[in-house]
Amino acid sequence: MRQIYLEPRKYSELINTHQGKSPNKTQDQILAQFERDRNKNKKSLISQVANQNKWSDNPPDPDELIELKKAYGVKNEQKLTTWQDFIEDLNLLLED
């Protein structure tokens, strides 16, 4: 596939034409437009949806956990381990 090199001015003209804006006239205006575009707050649809999670700041309470487990068919109740339990188990494995 052949690549075509366009000068920054041409890119700017193409973008502005596509967006219905009047083309920039000077190199300074073009560079300023590039800088504005570079500094725009880019929003991700995936991030916006993920940030709607009601447990993103606070985990679900025990009653909600029970409801979620029932909804997803979790049958066996596992004991939640602490970091200390994990470290002790890991140390036991490393000693063997």
Is residue 14 in a domain? yes
Helix orientation angle between 8-19 and 27-38, rounded to the nearest 10 degrees: 70
- List, run by run, the mean pLDDT of 10-residue segments along the chain (96 residues): 68 78 76 87 81 81 85 73 84 83
Alpha carbon distance 30, 49 (integer Å): 34
Query: What's residue 1's pLDDT?
Result: 61
Distance CA 38, CA 32 (A): 10
Residue 66 CA to residue 58 CA, distance in Å, equals: 16
By residue range, what is the domain housing residue 22?
8-37
Query: How many independent structural domains does the chain possess?
Result: 1
Is 76 domain-assigned? no
pLDDT of residue 24: 58
Asked if 12 and 24 touch (Cβ cutoff 8 Å), the reply is yes
Please check whether residue 21 lies inside any domain of the structure: yes
